[in-house]
Each structure stands twice: as structure tokens, then as C-alpha cells.
């Protein structure tokens, strides 16, 4: 099947959860999906998981689950890297890999509302649910923007390093994980987070990346 690539820049909007963690080196070595012998090295810092429902994007609507272990080093560059990520459409898989070196994989998502502030999110593949989380959020919202905390991604893909400085803003409130079940072969078995945010709505812009050949 021919790949469908939607070139950058992309503008996206939707809603999503961000949960922040402090992982130890042993957890990342065993569960962080950083290949042994890889030129990508874990250096510490705060990591996160994100669960996103994109209502609109240049590639259409899609859902996303991703894992960032913390900061990583490639050669002399230290930034953040996504080491595991699932999305709900093939066009997002193909475009994410080609445009920004993001190692997206296909899966299916379901969002079950329990009430206005609580829901269960499930992610699966081949009829097997490998990620299930019950989350809730408050109703005290405040503005949020990447201008206050700029985050730069660096992705190692096909012997090249992709650097992406994305921009975003939205309306956030605090979020909480109540229960979480994960099959570790598919996704890092994280527990309850240090803290969480629910952002609804948000707007993101993924620009054309800077690409360097791996030395």
C-alpha cells in the first residue's frame, strides 16, 4: 500500500491529558523502549505520557498515546524524545515517521464517559486492550502555553536526527489517574503520576523540522 504523507507544517487542535513522572534509570532501561546499543541515551529529568484526541489536523482527526522517558542525548544534543507512540490512523503513522522521525504505530482507541469530569480511555491492537486508564479532571481552568516552557523534540530515525520545536497553547486544568492497567510488551507500565493536566481545547503547530545526518 502506498504511503500517504501530509507534509509539514501541521496545525492541530483538540483535547488531551498530560501526566508527568520522574522515572529512574533502571525503569527506563527495562521499560523505556530505548534499544540497547542505540545512539539514543537516557539522561534523566521529568518524563510524561500523553493521551490526545485531535479533533482536527492537516491529516484529519486522530487519537494518540505517547511516552517520553525524559531527556535524551544523541551525540552532543540533549532534548526530549518520544520512544513509544500509538495513533489511530495510518496517515498519521506514515506522516509522523516521514516528517518528524516520530516512530508512530497503529492502534485503536475508545473513550468512555463516566460523567462530565471522568472517563475511561482504552488503547488496543488485534482485539487486545493493552492500555486502560480511568482519569478525571477538575473544572478550574487556566491558560497554558509552550512559550513559558518550550519543549524541543529530537528523534533518531533512519540514521538522521529530526529536531522539532513545536508551539502550542490552550486551556488547562488539573487531572488525576484513578486506575491504570498496561501490558508492558506494548507500553511502559507507568503508575500514578506526580501530577497531571487536562487541556481542552488546545492548538498545536508542528513546523518543518531541522534534520541532521547521524555522524
Radius of gyration of the CA atoms of the chain, in A: 16
Q: What is the DSSP letter of 82?
A: -
Those residues whose C-beta lies under 8 Å from the C-beta of residue 202, and which sit 6 or more positions away, are 13, 14, 15, 16, 144, 168, 169, 170, 171
Return the SS3 of 23: coil
Measured CA to CA, the distance from residue 85 to residue 87 in angstroms comes to 7
pTM, two decimal places: 0.97
pLDDT of residue 193: 98
pLDDT of residue 150: 79
**Residues of the chain scoring pLDDT < 70:** 36-37
pLDDT of residue 2: 81
Which class for 133: exposed (0-12), middle (13-18), buried (19 or more C-beta within 10 A)?
A: buried
Measured CA to CA, the distance from residue 92 to residue 103 in angstroms comes to 11
Amino acid at each position: 500500500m502506498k504511503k500517504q504523507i501530509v507534509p509539514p507544517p501541521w496545525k492541530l487542535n483538540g483535547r488531551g491529558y498530560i501526566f508527568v513522572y520522574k522515572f529512574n534509570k533502571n525503569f527506563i532501561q527495562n521499560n523505556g523502549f530505548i534499544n540497547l546499543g542505540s545512539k539514543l541515551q537516557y539522561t534523566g529529568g521529568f518524563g510524561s505520557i500523553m493521551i490526545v484526541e485531535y479533533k482536527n489536523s492537516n491529516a484529519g482527526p486522530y487519537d494518540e498515546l505517547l511516552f517520553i522517558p525524559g531527556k535524551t542525548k544523541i551525540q552532543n544534543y540533549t532534548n526530549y524524545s518520544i520512544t513509544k507512540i500509538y495513533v489511530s490512523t495510518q496517515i498519521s503513522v506514515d506522516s509522523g515517521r516521514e516528517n518528524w522521525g516520530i516512530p508512530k504505530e497503529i492502534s485503536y482507541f475508545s473513550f468512555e464517559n463516566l460523567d462530565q469530569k471522568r472517563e475511561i480511555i482504552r488503547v488496543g491492537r488485534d482485539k487486545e486492550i493493552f492500555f486502560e486508564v480511568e482519569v478525571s479532571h477538575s473544572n478550574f481552568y487556566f491558560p497554558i502555553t509552550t512559550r513559558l516552557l518550550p519543549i524541543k523534540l529530537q528523534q533518531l530515525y533512519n540514521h538522521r536526527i529530526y529536531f522539532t520545536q513545536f508551539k502550542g497553547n490552550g486551556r488547562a486544568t488539573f487531572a488525576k489517574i484513578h486506575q491504570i492497567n498496561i501490558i508492558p510488551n506494548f507500553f511502559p507500565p507507568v503508575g500514578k503520576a506526580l501530577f497531571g493536566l487536562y487541556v481542552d481545547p488546545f492548538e498545536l503547530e508542528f513546523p518543518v523540522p531541522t534534520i541532521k545526518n547521524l555522524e
